[in-house]
Homo-oligomer: A and B are copies of this chain.
């Protein structure tokens, strides 16, 4: 298993740093190799090509990201709490790893369409997690039973993603995690004036 070989992780970490520091288009394979402390050719013993490095970066980092969220959610009792946790963990993890935030929100989006399709594949488990929360909320009668699940998922993901991207572009000058409650309320209750589902 290539992933267990020591240099595999070295290269992945070097790629994240290189991209965060230099930007996507200035992250040549030779730069990544140098930062990883290996020869250029060595990269190709672990990765098929440059795109494979980038997809692997996303897989590794997003795998952890999603797992972390999924496991945090498991401890929660209902969909409402789970949604709040998802939001919080989403923000928390990116707030705690600025390199990762820059790479996922800004730099990797400059990749070509083919790579972006692969990245979407990696994201699928996360979308499933979101879908499951929606379904659970409906079953628990906390959420409406006429929800268009893909649409709701897109709203949730789109909202979180846009918020994080804005935060990164504003050079992370404010506290992202503090937004959790507001975002949660918005998603649960929308904009309208009404009796609000009690929170926390």
List chain A positions with a Cβ less than 8 A from chain B. Answer: 23-25, 83, 106-107, 109-113, 116-117, 120, 134, 137, 141-144, 147-148, 150-152, 154-155, 157-163, 166, 169, 179, 182-183, 186-195, 197
Q: Are A191 and B187 in contact (CB under 8 A)?
A: yes
Within the complex, the shortest CB–CB distance from A78 to chain B, in Å, comes to: 12
Contacting pair B106 A151 (CB below 8 A): no
Other 9 A-B pairs with CB < 8 A, given A23-B112, A142-B192, A155-B186: A110-B113, A147-B186, A147-B191, A152-B186, A152-B191, A155-B155, A155-B159, A158-B160, A162-B162
Interface-centre pick from A148, A159, A179, A182 (highest chain B CB count, 10 A): A159
Question: Given contacts A158-B163, A162-B154, is CB(A192)–CB(B188) below 8 Å?
Answer: yes
Question: Among the listed B154, B159, B190, which residue makes an inter-chain contact with A188, where contact means beta carbons less than 8 Å apart?
Answer: B190
Taking the full assembly, how many copies of this chain does it contain? 4
Chain B residues within 8 Å of A25, by CB: 112
| A24 cross-chain contacts in B, Cβ below 8 A | 112
User: Which B residues lie within 8 Å of A158 (CB)?
Assistant: 158-163
Contact between chains at B23 and A143 (CB < 8 Å): no
A173 shortest CB reach to chain B, Å? 13
Please give, as numbers and ranges, the residues of chain B lying within 8 Å of A166 by CB-CB distance.
Answer: 150, 154
Given the complex of chains A and B, what is the CA–CA distance between A70 and B150 in angstroms?
A: 28
With A109-B109, A190-B187 in contact, is A155–B161 under 8 Å at CB? no
Chain B residues with Cβ below 8 Å from A190 are: 186-190
Given the known A-B contacts A110-B110, A112-B110, A186-B152, are A134 and B191 also in contact in the complex, defined by CB atoms under 8 Å?
yes
- Cα A160 to Cα B120 in complex, Å, equals 18
Contacts of A117 in B (CB 8 A): 169
Which of B154, B159, B194 touches A195 (beta carbons < 8 Å)? B194
Query: Which of B144, B160, B162, B191 lies in contact with A191, CB distance below 8 A?
Result: B144
Evaluate contact between B107 and A110: CB separation under 8 angstroms.
no
